[in-house]
Homo-oligomer: A and B are copies of this chain.
C-alpha cells in the first residue's frame, strides 16, 4: 500500500495520499474494508492518532466511510453523484468568492456551458423536466417574491434544463457553474421590469425545449445571457455612483 508521493509533508498527508492512490488505482475496490486503525498504525509505523488524521482527510473527500463496532472499520466509499455534486458546488462557490472572479466571467462560463446542453435537452425533453421548468416560471412571476427566492427559483429552472439532457455526467459537471452563480446573482436587486423580462425569456426557452427546437433554446439562452449581463452592469454602475470608489 505504501507506494508514492512521500515528500516532506506531514505523516497523515503522506498516509492519506498512499491510501488514496490505492483507491484511485483500483487496488482497493468499492466497499472493501481497510485494515483497522491499529493495523494501519503498525503497517505505516505511526501512532493511531496519526492514522486517524489521515483517515479523516479521506472521509472529508467522501473516499471512505467509517463504522463502529465489531465488524466495523473504514470502507471504501462509492462516490455518489449526489455527494460529488455537493462538493463541487461548495468548491465552486468558494473559488468564485475568494478569487475576485468577475460577474461577467462567471456568467459567460455558465451560459456557454448551458447553451451546450440545450440541444440535448431539446432532443430528449421529457415531461418531468418541462413541468419543473414551467413551475419555476410560474413562481418567478408571483408578486411579493423576495430577490433571494427569485434567484433560487432561477437556479432551479436552469438545473431542470440541464438535467433534461439526461446525461448524469453533464449534470454533474454543470452543477458547479449553475449553482455557484447564485451568490453572485443574489447581489443583484431585481426590479419588476427586469423580472418580467427574465420570465419572458425563460418561457421562450421552455417553449423551444418543448418543441424540441435546440437552436431556439440556445438562442434563448444567448438572449438571457445578454439580458443578465446588462442587468448586472446597470446594478454595479448604479452602486458605484453613491460611493465612488473610496
**Chain A interfacial positions (CB closer than 8 Å to B):** 12, 16, 20, 23-24, 26, 30, 49, 52-54, 56-61, 63, 78-81, 84, 87-88, 90-99, 101, 105-106, 108-110, 112-113, 115-117, 120, 165, 167-170, 172-174, 176-177
Contacts and interface: CB of A to CB of B under 8 A. Distances in A.
B16 A60 contact: yes
A142 to B, nearest CB: 27
27 contacts: A30-B98, A49-B49, A56-B56, A56-B57, A57-B59, A58-B60, A61-B91, A78-B98, A78-B99, A79-B91, A79-B99, A81-B99, A84-B91, A88-B88, A88-B91, A95-B172, A101-B169, A105-B169, A106-B169, A108-B120, A108-B167, A109-B169, A109-B170, A113-B116, A113-B170, A115-B116, A173-B174
A79 B98 contact: yes
A109 B56 contact: no
Nearest to A178: B173
